[in-house]
Chains A and B, each alone.
Chain A
Amino acid sequence: MGSRASSLLREEDIDEIKKETGFSHSQITRLYSRFHSLDKGENGALSREDFQRIPELAINPLGDRIINAFFPEGEDQVNFRGFMRTLAHFRPVEDNEKNKDMISGEPLNSRTNKLHFAFQLYDLDRDDKISRDELLQVLRMMVGVNISDEQLGSIADRTIQEADTNGDMCISFSEFTKVLEKVDVEQKMSIRFLH
């Protein structure tokens, strides 16, 4: 007689996720329970519709972009590992990061990785640069019908002009990082997970 939800999550899995993401044991089981409650089809993976069923997310102007960030290129389902990997970006940065033995060398919630998450919100076609068109589309998502095309266009132009240092009329990840170097990314892109 075990519980229904967490019996599907084995201890080895939890340890691996702990190493990869830095979440604690209890946080992982709580988040698994949340994952399970979102998974209406009960097939161990979430689809885009499962996310869209959350009203607060559905009314978020960038809701679709955020949902998209969970799904790797070309895939329609995200399993629990992928779910946790994405959420790990939002763990607060602690001073003594114990899990430095990453393959990539950096913990998922480092400043760079948080910025990369934000960068991918803009980069619609995942070609590692933000074109004027992509910027316009994201802007349009955020303002709806309340600002004219011309005004939005000039905002986009000004933004690219300020950020673009190598003159290719696109914003690369390093240019993006430079623009935001003074912003407190660690605090703004973190969620306080309770134990």
Chain B
Amino acid sequence: MERGAKEKNHLLYKPYSLNGIIAKEPTSLEEELKEIRRNGSSQDLDGSASTTTGPSPSSSEFEMSDTFYFCRRGIESIVDDEVTKRFTAEELESWNLLTRSNYNFNHISTRLTVLWGLGVVIRYGFLLPLRLTLAITGVSLLVVFTTMIGFLPNGRVKNFLSEKVHLMCYRICVRGLTAIITYHHSENKPKNGGICVANHTSPIDTIILASDGCYAMVGQIHGGLMGLIQKSMVKACPHIWFERSEVKDRHLVARRLSDHVKDKSKLPILIFPEGTCINNTSVMMFKKGSFEIGSTVYPVAIKYDPRFGDAFWNSSKFGMVNYLLRMMSSWAIVCSVWYLPPMSRQEGEDAVQFANRVKAAIARQGGLVDLLWDGGLKRGKVKDTFKEEQQKLYSKILVGTQEDRSRS
């Protein structure tokens, strides 16, 4: 199965274009309004009986049919919009024998049910216990060894050992998930003093990247088991963990990041600028914080193959433990990692433009849809400024004509 997946990897990543429910017309507000009014008034000019003063088609004033454009766009977005579907697992074209991916498929045949039953037995009876053992081994080794290394004095030996230990433990964890990873372009791997950015689909992303190279992680300190792992990791090599209260302070965050980056002996920082997990069909807005720091950025694109197991963590539906169990009871986690050539901010480019440029490169490589929407929309409301932009645009069309009127 592993070899088969590896061979197929190279053909897999065309974007999954499941048949949409509707075909959207990509016209703009101005084009539409011009069209409606041209149709409405050109026949007016042909006929002689016209009660109005016959406004010219291009500079019309308010027409009651202006609402049609907004109306249609609104209904189109109710039927199919670009954002809400990014926060639930991707729909598959054909079923992969996992109940969790079974959205619209009815009971098809008894044979399929039998196959599914067999799959359940294999996955839960055989694969899951095996993987759990591996995972627990991996994590415990990580905690124990990093604590031990923490006692050594800082120096080359410590760094060397820390690297070896981290890599080994992450690789065990990777086996524990049966993650089959193909790394492309390893010559572009992030170097010290740089920042590695990647699209975010699940917490597993970290393990996948870290099993191929050493990074300094960034994140919030959690309690419990996670916290224990974090504290022991930091003993072996510097990671950047924040207290919950410090997370809100953007300047503090930026300062710690840039301090770390300036020290060339420290490992490259791993950051997920989307800020939240997206379902791996698209890349959403990158938060500009990491792009303001001014060091080299190493973009990485991660694309999972959903046929073997869905890696997306829907945090509103599943907690972490539930999620890990689901991961370990899938067939496998198959993914591709592309290391893209390093990018730096160019002259005259601000942080937001730089972030968008990096995002576009990652989306292009991974075959993902490049969206401008903020991943924060998963939980929060959209800002009013977008609505105001549309209102402004429409007002310009109306008011622009008033000026013409006063001129004639």
Query: Which A residues contact B (CB, under 8 angstroms)?
Result: 1-7, 27, 29-31, 33-34, 37-38, 51-63, 66, 87, 90, 117-118, 121-122, 138-139, 142-147, 151, 155, 158-159, 162-163, 171, 176, 179-180, 182-185, 188-194
Whether the Cβ atoms of B70 and A62 lie closer than 8 Å is yes
Judge whether B22 and A66 touch: CB under 8 Å.
no
Q: Which of B136-144, B160-168, B184-192, B391-399 contacts A (4 or more CB under 8 A)?
A: B391-399
CA gap between A95 and B23 in the complex, in Å = 20
Check if A162 sits within 8 Å of B40, measured CB to CB: no
Q: How far is the CA of A30 from the CA of B264 in the complex (A)?
A: 54
Residues 6-45 of chain B: 1 if any A CB is under 8 Å from the residue's CB, otherwise 0? Answer: 0000000000000111110100000010001001110110
B67 adjacent to A122 (CB under 8 Å)? yes
Chain A residues, CB < 8 A from B41: 182
Q: How far is the CA of A138 from the CA of B381 in the complex (A)?
A: 23
Asked whether B294 is an interface residue with its Cβ less than 8 Å from the other chain, the reply is no
Most buried by A among B51, B75, B402: B75
Q: Which B residues are CB-close (under 8 A) to A56? A: 73, 77, 81-83
Which residue from chain A places its CB closest to the CB of B44 in the assembled complex?
A182
Name the distance in Å between A192's Cβ and chain B's nearest Cβ: 4
Inter-subunit contact A54/B72 (CB<8 Å): no
On chain A, the residues within 8 Å of B58 by CB distance are: none
Interfacial chain A residues near B81, Cβ < 8 Å: 54-57
Residue on B nearest A89 in the bound complex, by CB: B75
User: Which of B67, B105, B107, B398 has the most chain A CB atoms inside 10 A of its CB?
Assistant: B67
Distance in Å: Cβ of B408 to nearest Cβ of chain A: 16
Q: Is the CB of A182 within 8 A of B391?
A: no
A27 to chain B, nearest CB (A): 7
Select from chain A the residue with minimum beta-carbon distance to B390: A61
Choose one: A3, A27, A142; the contact of B102 (CB below 8 Å): A3
Task: Give per-residue flags for B135-171: 1 if the beta carbon is below 8 A from chain A beta carbons, else 0.
Answer: 0000000000000000000000000000000000000
Name the 7 nearest CB pairs between A and B, nearest first. A144-B391, A146-B395, A56-B77, A66-B74, A59-B386, A55-B382, A62-B70
Known: A2-B106, A37-B85, A146-B395. A183 touches B74 (CB 8 A): no
Task: Determine whether B61 belongs to the interface, using a CB cutoff of 8 Å to chain A.
Answer: yes
Q: Which residues of B are at the interface with A, using a C-beta cutoff of 8 A?
A: 19-23, 25, 32, 36, 39-41, 43-44, 51-52, 61-62, 64-85, 88, 99, 102-107, 113, 116, 373, 377, 381-382, 386-388, 390-392, 394-396, 398-399, 402
Q: Contacts A60-B77, A146-B395: A188 and B68 contacting too (C-beta < 8 A)?
A: yes
Cβ–Cβ contact A87 & B106, under 8 A: no
CA distance A158 to B20 in the complex (A): 42
Given the complex, which residues of B lie within 8 Å of A30, measured CB to CB? 21
Cross-chain contact A155 with B61 (CB below 8 angstroms)? yes
- Tell me the number of A-to-B contacts counted with CB atoms below 8 Å: 185
For A63, list chain B residues within 8 Å (CB): 74, 387
A12 to B388 alpha-carbon distance, docked (Å): 45
Q: Assess the B65–A180 pair: CB atoms within 8 A.
A: yes
On whether the beta carbons of A163 and B395 are closer than 8 Å, the reply is no
Within 8 Å CB of B69, what residues of A? 188
Chain B residue at minimum C-beta to C-beta distance from A117 = B71
Q: Given that A162-B51, A192-B22 are contacting pairs, would A58 and B105 also be in contact in the complex, using a CB cutoff of 8 Å? A: no
From A165, which residue of chain B is reached at the shortest CB distance? B51
Which of B22, B73, B84, B386 is close to A194, meaning CB atoms less than 8 Å apart?
A: B22
Which residues of the partner chain B approach A155 to less than 8 Å between Cβ atoms?
61-62, 398
- Write the chain A residue with the least CB distance to B316: A40
15 contacts between A and B (CB under 8 A): A6-B104, A6-B106, A30-B21, A52-B381, A53-B84, A55-B382, A57-B74, A57-B78, A61-B70, A118-B67, A121-B67, A122-B64, A171-B64, A184-B36, A188-B65
Q: For A188, list chain B residues within 8 Å (CB).
A: 32, 36, 65, 68-69, 72
Contact A193 B21 (CB under 8 A): yes
Please tell me which one of the listed residues A27, A87, A147, A185 contacts residue B395 in the complex, with CB atoms under 8 A apart: A147
Q: When chains A and B are docked, how far (Å) is the Cα of A134 from the Cα of B113?
A: 58
